[in-house]
Amino acid sequence: MSNLTVLENFLLLGFSGSQELQVLYFVILAMYLIVLIGNLLIITLVAVNSHLHTPMYFFLVSLSILDLGSTSVIIPKSMVNSLMNTTLISYSECVTQMFFFLSFLSSDVFLLTVMAYDRYVAICHPLHYTSVMKWGRCIQMVGGTWMAGFLNAALHTSTVFSMPFCSNIIHQFFCEIPQVVKITCSDSYLNEIWALLFSAALGVGCFVFIVMSYVQIFTAVLRMPSMANRWKAFSTCIPHITVVSILFGTGLFTHLLPTSNSPYNLDEVLTVLYTVVPPMMNPINYSMRNKDVKAALWNLLGFTLCKKKMHPISL
φ, ψ for residue 313, nearest 5 deg: -70, 125
Lowest-pLDDT choice from 71-75, 188-192, 281-285, 311-315: 311-315
Q: How confident is the model at residue 101 (pLDDT cuts 50, 70, 90)?
A: very high
pTM for this one? 0.86
Q: What is the pLDDT of residue 303?
A: 54
List CB contacts of 246: < 8 A, sequence separation 6 or more.
Answer: 277, 278, 281, 282, 285
Which residues are paired to 4 by β-bridges?
Answer: 165
pLDDT (mean) for 190-218: 85
109-163 pLDDT, tens digit per residue, is 999 999 999 999 999 998 889 999 999 999 999 999 999 999 999 988 998 888 8
In Å, what is the CA distance from 247 to each residue of 18, 20, 36, 236, 282? Answer: 28, 28, 18, 18, 10
Q: What is the pLDDT of residue 287?
A: 74
pLDDT mean across residues, the chain: 82
What does DSSP assign to residue 312? -
Per domain, the residue ranges of the chain are 9-300
pLDDT (mean) for 220-241: 83
What does DSSP assign to residue 84? T
pLDDT (mean) for 279-289: 81
9-300 has CATH 3.30.930.10 classification: no
> What is the Cα–Cα distance from 289 to 242, expressed in whole angstroms?
10
List CB contacts of 222: < 8 A, sequence separation 6 or more.
Answer: 230
pLDDT of 4 > 80? The answer is no
Helix (H) or strand (E) segment spanning residue 292: helix 291-300
- The residue type of 37 is I
Q: What is the pLDDT of residue 258?
A: 56
Q: What is the pLDDT of residue 215?
A: 93
> What is the Cα–Cα distance from 29 to 236, expressed in whole angstroms?
31
List CB contacts of 156: < 8 A, sequence separation 6 or more.
Answer: 98, 102, 177, 192, 195, 196, 199
Lowest-pLDDT choice from 33-47, 52-66, 177-191, 250-264: 250-264
Q: What is the pLDDT of residue 315?
A: 42
Q: How confident is the model at residue 63 (pLDDT cuts 50, 70, 90)?
A: very high
Q: What percent of the chain has pLDDT over 90?
A: 32
> What is the Cα–Cα distance from 275 to 176, expressed in whole angstroms?
11
